[in-house]
Amino acid sequence: MPLSLSDPTWYPIASSEDLPFRHVYQGQLLGRELAVWRADDGNVNVWENRCLHRGVRLSIGINEGQELKCQYHGWRYANQSAGCTYIPAHPADAPARRIENRKYPVKEAFGLIWSAANDDQKFAPFAGAESTDWFPLRPMPVNAAPEDVLAGLARLAPDDQPADLLPGMALRLGTTVYFVQPVDAGRSVIRGLIEKPADEVATLRHYNETLTKLRDRLERAAAKKPAPEPLQPVFEKVSADLASMPDIAIPRGNTMPVVVKRKWQSADGVIGFELADRDGKHLPTFQPGAHIDVHLPNGLIRQYSITNGPGDLSSYVIGVKQESASKGGSKVLVETVREGDVLAISEPRNNFPLRRDATRTVLIAGGIGITPLLSMARFLDKSSLNYELHYFARTGDGLAFQSELAALHGKVDRHIGLAREAIKAKVAEVLGQYQFANHVYICGPGAMLEMVQETAASLGWPDDAIHFEYFQNDKVIDSSSAFDVELARSAMTLHVPAGKTILETMREAGLTVPSSCEQGACGTCLTTVMEGEVDHQDVYLNKTEKASNTCMMTCVSRAKSGRLVLDI
Amino acid sequence: MPKAPDQTTNDLWHVVAATEELAIGLVETTLLLDRRIALTRGLDGEPVVWLASDEENGDEIDAETVLDRLPVRTAYGYTWTCLGTPSAELFPIPEYAEADRTNMSCGSIGIHVSAPRAVENFLDMGHFPYVHTDILGSEPHTEVKEYDVEVSEERDEVLATKCKFIQPMAAKSATGAMEVEYVYRVPHPFCSVLYKSCPEDESRRDVIGIFLQPMTEETCRAHLLQSMIDSYSTVTDLRRFQQTIFGQDKPILENQYPKKLPLDPRSETPIRADKSAIAYRRWLSQKGITYGVIPQAS
């Protein structure tokens, strides 16, 4: 039977022992090279051995624990999803596009790592697998065709006790089970499982001698035959949108169901929610600072930051504030949603990206604003980058995610019950005079954000070193103006009447435009302005960006001039 | 049986050796576009190149006896030849002639990768902190700022300007970290020249050239040129510096797959920092180059 690139059989591709702490193992199956690595959380990843950016082998990359870092340009790929989380050449940008390496199914069982060319078959252990405490043999590479190697193994059987052929290039010889890993058309690895022996060394030596002799016989025979043509795996093309470098955000609309796996009181006034895939699959890649839209049972949509650390995609953990004056957003979550309920969430979106090229990163959280900063701190922590986290809260009981914060190695300072002026003095002390390659990230109540921005600016911090995220826009939106918008790319001119937003007007005209919070806080509807004067009413853009008059948020901002030309 | 090179590639001038390193009266053999060629120098010091028959490396030969010769140029310290009909003059590097520069060849190094992959690596700044750690770049300063790229029709070359990068030790003569500015030229499908701010004289630029000899579609030899304003370092130091840099690139290049440069935009994932590489790939496509590349399916 000739080998096929699309063979769905599960084969062992490595021993568990081949994956020590922070190692990347290079394997091969059916002609395809594989980068195999174990994350710090124990999960094993089997990926195509090729960075999507410039084709460099990922097996020469660096296992950072929860992310794999390419050796060529430092691109980082997340544990489980293989999604790209950071591109160092553009530190201020969230990788806006879904760059994801090709990955293969994986199962760790009986001391072996198993994989397959595709997901067509479920992993099924060989008959009788569960009954024994297995011990893997030392693998034996053989330069011979896999079918010849299998036949050679079968001939090891004594005449009165023939080998028992198992599905998928495997056979049983007495109590030993052998598997042939089809590396390529002319290359194989013999892997075997035996019952845990009393004397491991003597047993291993015995098998090693037998298999070495078999290998020599098989290789001598193979050398006399014409070498089979190697398999020619195809590198799948990247999607057209990845090749053309657009910088458009992922549009809203794609939601996925998640189940509330855990709901708990994280602190006084803060409820934690753990959201997971219903079938136990991993969730999509996110970057530090990212949020998800949560679609609530009462039809409202609210944004919550993901608090997770790198490569932790088994579930998302969010923190929700119990607000007494809540209008029904967090109230519904807190009061009516229970463990086991299913909610719809959007894919993660990042309007608060973390640069990882700072020599010092200051994270300042006020109250529930800890959520995105906890995620950032965990990423910086894992990469051993210099950061400090300052967490301001009214009371000690209000400090959320305490155990997660305790696991960090960096400087984490909690500031409790400070008055407004004292907070300001503390922030000024923490920031200090601006120095090159320093960055500050702030998340908290609106008044605190403004105070930190002002304080930083007075200490010489430039706008592009001050990063902030508002949870909501508290400003009163003035929608009394009326004007025209010309959509340059869509070749369309629309009239925006008083009382209606640009976004609503565009939607009514049949355009699909990305948006999320629709109150000028999240940054999703960011649009390039080509002509006209903008009446900024959002809290997303910084002063420099607003003054540049080159971009705007179409959900709340309007025109001072009679006409705006937008790049839509 | 290797495929025949495309017409454009066949008619190009190709670098084959550092002229001074060719021993007078001795044969050196190498590969060019899958063909074995032989080289030597005559008593007058002029290089002679021909298609090799049964010559071996190190054979003694009198250059006068070689009658069936390939065309030869010497430029920038290197010997160039052509297997087809050489149509154009070799590209200019005017700085090379400036009297106070130290010009030197920095070695010819074999690499198991196609010549265009090596050119692309030369144009790339994003890898500095990762591959040339603490020399041409260092974490956390990893940003590739916006720069300009154009394909000059008049000069038929790719030109990238205003390329800036923070470097801890930009050149042998550098004493500390500085933001350096680069200009890159690709004046030949398999050659590139870069100009970088000179630590010693703000008004002038050091020039570094990489000339790739395409031996086969998936192997090449890199010939390096430095033309420096540096009154302190010795030629040995300057060479060693360049060879250190190249020694860091080589293992990365040899782990790139596929080894030929894919010209289909969907074969890899470009980012804004790769603007010059995108322009280079497009330029190769337009020129009809098929040697050492995976052409875009039409």
Structural domains of chain B sorted by starting position, each given as residue range(s) with its CATH number in brackets: 7-81 (2.102.10.10), 94-294 (3.90.380.10)
β-strand A466-469 against A438-443: which pairing, if any? parallel
CATH topology of domain A255-346: Elongation Factor Tu (Ef-tu); domain 3 (2.40.30)
Residue contact B266–A71, C-beta within 8 A = no
B140 at the A interface (CB within 8 A)?
yes
DSSP secondary structure letter of residue A197: P
Give B265's contacts in chain A (Cβ within 8 Å).
243-244
Give B130's contacts in chain A (Cβ within 8 Å).
71-74, 88
H/E stretch holding B8: helix B7-10
pLDDT value at position A325? Answer: 57
Give A55's contacts in chain B (Cβ within 8 Å).
256-258, 262, 268
B245 token code pair = 């840099």
Establish how many alpha carbons lie within 13 A of residue A282's alpha carbon, considering only the half-sphere containing its beta carbon: 16
Phi, psi of A242 (to 5 degrees): -75, -30
Mean pLDDT for chain B overall: 93
My answer on whether omega of the bond before A514 falls inside 30° of 0, hence cis, is no
What's the CA gap between B219 and B229, in Å, rounded?
32
State the nearest Cα–Cα gap between A203 and chain B, in angstroms.
38
8 Å CB contact between A413 and A391? yes
Residue contact B271–A243, C-beta within 8 A = no
B150 token code pair = 């154009």
Among A54, A89, A243, beta carbon nearest to B143 = A89
Among B129, B141, B271, beta carbon nearest to A90 = B271
3-state helix, strand, coil in chain B (%, to 5): 20, 35, 45
pLDDT value at position A29? Answer: 96
pLDDT value at position B232? Answer: 84
Residue partners of B96: CB distance under 8 A and separation at least 6: B76, B103, B207, B227
Integer-rounded Cα radius of gyration of chain A:
29
User: For the segment B71-120, what is each residue's pLDDT rounded down to a tens digit?
Assistant: 999 999 999 999 999 977 899 999 999 999 999 999 999 999 999 999 99
Q: How many CB atoms lie within 10 A of CB B150?
A: 12
A452 token code pair = 């930190």
Among A89, A240, A437, beta carbon nearest to B144 = A89
DSSP secondary structure letter of residue B97: G
Looking up tokens 């290089």 gives B47
What's the CA gap between A157 and A141, in Å, rounded?
20
For the domain A360-469, what is the CATH code?
A: 3.40.50.80
Residue contact B268–A52, C-beta within 8 A = yes
Q: Which of residues 112-131 of B touch A (CB under 8 A)?
A: 120, 124-127, 129-131
Give the sheet arrangement for strand A106-109, strand by strand: A11-15, A112-115, A106-109
Q: At what angle do helices B235-253 and B115-123 cross, to 10 degrees?
A: 110
What's the CA gap between B216 and B245, in Å, rounded?
24
Q: How many CB atoms lie within 10 A of CB A445?
A: 17
Give B116's contacts in chain A (Cβ within 8 Å).
none
Q: How many CB atoms lie within 10 A of CB A285?
A: 23
Nearest to B215 by CA among B273, B179, B259: B259
User: For the segment B153-211, what is each residue's pLDDT rounded down to a tens digit?
Assistant: 888 999 999 999 988 876 777 677 788 899 999 999 999 999 998 878 888 899 999 99
pLDDT value at position A1? Answer: 58
State the nearest Cα–Cα gap between A567 and chain B, in angstroms.
19
State the nearest Cα–Cα gap between A358 and chain B, in angstroms.
6
Give A359's contacts in chain B (Cβ within 8 Å).
140
Q: Where are the domains of chain A?
A: 11-224, 255-346, 360-469, 483-566
Nearest to B239 by CA among B41, B16, B21: B21
Q: How many CB atoms lie within 10 A of CB B202?
A: 8
3-state helix, strand, coil in chain A (%, to 5): 20, 30, 50
B166 token code pair = 């923070």
A157 token code pair = 């059987």
Give A91's contacts in chain B (Cβ within 8 Å).
142-143
Among A72, A74, A88, beta carbon nearest to B252 = A72
A367 token code pair = 């109250």
pLDDT value at position A246? Answer: 40
Q: How many CB atoms lie within 10 A of CB A203?
A: 16
Residue contact A235–B257, C-beta within 8 A = yes
Cα first-last separation, chain A: 55
Integer-rounded Cα radius of gyration of chain B:
19
Residue contact B256–A437, C-beta within 8 A = no
Give B266's contacts in chain A (Cβ within 8 Å).
237-240, 242-243
A328 token code pair = 């029904």
State the nearest Cα–Cα gap between A386 and chain B, in angstroms.
10
8 Å CB contact between B135 and B168? yes
What's the CA gap between A538 and A477, in Å, rounded?
9
For the domain A11-224, what is the CATH code?
A: 2.102.10.10
What's the CA gap between A514 and A351, in Å, rounded?
13
Instruction: Report residue B99 CA to chain centroid gap.
Output: 23
Instruction: Report residue A295 CA to chain centroid gap.
Output: 21
Residue partners of A237: CB distance under 8 A and separation at least 6: A243, B264, B266, B267
What's the CA gap between B278 and B263, in Å, rounded?
9
Bridge partner list, A292? A304
For residue A241, give the chain B residue with the closest CA: B266
Residue contact B268–A238, C-beta within 8 A = yes
B258 at the A interface (CB within 8 A)?
yes
pLDDT greater than 70 at residue B1: no
Residue partners of B190: CB distance under 8 A and separation at least 6: B12, B14, B115, B116, B119, B211, B212, B213, B214, B220, B292
8 Å CB contact between B164 and B179? yes
What's the CA gap between B283 and B160, in Å, rounded?
13
Give A52's contacts in chain B (Cβ within 8 Å).
268-269
Choose the mutation target among B145, B257, B263 for the interface with A, i.e. most A CBs under 10 Å: B257
A123 token code pair = 């992993």
Residue contact A238–B269, C-beta within 8 A = yes
**Which residues of A sit within 8 Å Cβ distance of B?**
33, 49-50, 52-57, 60, 71-74, 87-92, 99, 235, 237-240, 242-245, 356-359, 385, 437
For residue B269, give the chain A residue with the closest CA: A53
Within chain A, which residues score under 50 in pLDDT? 245-252
Among B125, B140, B268, beta carbon nearest to A358 = B140
pLDDT greater than 70 at residue B47: yes
Q: Which of residues 45-104 of B touch A (CB under 8 A)?
A: none
Q: At what angle do helices B115-123 and B275-287 cross, to 10 degrees?
A: 150
Q: Does the domain formed by A483-566 have CATH 3.20.20.370?
A: no
Q: How many CB atoms lie within 10 A of CB A548?
A: 12
What's the CA gap between A538 and A315, in Å, rounded?
32
Would you state the torsion angle of the CA atoms of residues A304, A310, A316, A322, taken in this order, to the nearest 10 degrees?
-40
ipTM above 0.95, yes or no: no
Give B251's contacts in chain A (Cβ within 8 Å).
60
